A and B are shown apart, each in its own frame.
Chain A
């Protein structure tokens, strides 16, 4: 079944093979970035990235960058 989540306020079709928060970060090329992640209004701790990404989840990802 296709999963559709809300990612940073926008509708996002989760690609096949992406089942966890970690896999989502990998897919978005953010896995080696420092990021704060929120799933359904609660923060996902760094040690809990194996949590599943489910249909209709609301996920927010803010990653840090250096520039300015």
Chain B
């Protein structure tokens, strides 16, 4: 009986923040919701695409057809799975500006992002707010996990990474097989359940390759850096103070640029639909976003003002397209 009656009661009173509703987020969220945690907040900036369906277990072909944001679909599906759990799906980009207010009020942070930059931002926020952090990442048939944050003498993710070569800041573009996702998410979820039920956590760095059968577990407790910018006494939280992500950005590992709706223009999705209807094709809209094709580029405008321009890595090209559409 790993959890027990008391543990189950504690689970029912806990709140889990899941950063990302992609592969790891889908899988981890489903396990935690079925286990009966009290509250799950799941945040994601993206919408469901065909290429997600082989590994992102909360989504269906219908979600793709409706171009629904992942956070919305995840909330619906998770609520259908266990209506006793309070589920809150939030469609937004997690940034240095909003991360602290997003994660406030939760007991643990489950890392399910798809890039190192956001992961380090979350690491800083978790360190600053004293929130236990359950890191997970995977690519190909390989995945790794690392939980920390219960005891201050434990290293944080930043301690383990030390120097950050540019290469690790980009994301992996290779595919992922679902078994790698599920094993990685299972380790994270087991860690979260154990911590919530008993308060215990084993700060081990672990990995598994589902294709080669290699497995590894390393005790990293000696890697705490006394001058770590993220978790030491005099931490400066460098990723929380980095420039805002409101500036245009090329999305990690994708042929896509993210822009923001101009601040001086009112954003109303129905008005945008009216204004572009004649010049775009394949127009799909729902209360959360408008998706369409324009000069060979897929464009998605979210209700929080973010605009994705697919099919380019050039910010200049993306801005030109946006200005033609926004007018």
Contacts and interface: CB of A to CB of B under 8 A. Distances in A.
Interface of A: 7-10, 32-34, 36, 38, 43, 46, 60-68
Given A34-B168, A36-B160, A65-B139, 15 more contacts: A7-B214, A8-B215, A8-B216, A9-B216, A10-B214, A43-B220, A63-B207, A64-B137, A64-B161, A65-B143, A66-B119, A66-B172, A67-B171, A68-B24, A68-B25
Contacts of A34: 160-165, 168
Given A8-B215, A36-B205, A60-B218, A67 B144 contact: no
B218 A67 contact: no
Given A10-B212, A34-B161, A36-B205, A65 B218 contact: no
A48 B214 CA distance: 24
Nearest to A12: B214
Contact of B144 (A9, A10, A38, A62): A62
A9 B137 contact: no
Q: How big is the B interface, by class?
A: 35 or more
Contact of B137 (A7, A32, A68): A68
Contacts of A38: 218
A64 B205 CA distance: 10
Contacts of A43: 218, 220, 222-223
24 contacts: A8-B214, A34-B160, A34-B163, A34-B168, A38-B218, A43-B223, A60-B218, A64-B144, A65-B138, A65-B139, A65-B144, A66-B115, A66-B116, A66-B137, A66-B170, A67-B115, A67-B174, A67-B253, A68-B20, A68-B23, A68-B113, A68-B114, A68-B137, A68-B138
B205 A62 contact: yes
Interface of B: 20, 22-25, 111-116, 119, 136-139, 142-144, 160-165, 167-168, 170-172, 174, 176, 184, 205-207, 209, 212-218, 220, 222-223, 252-253
B168 A33 contact: yes
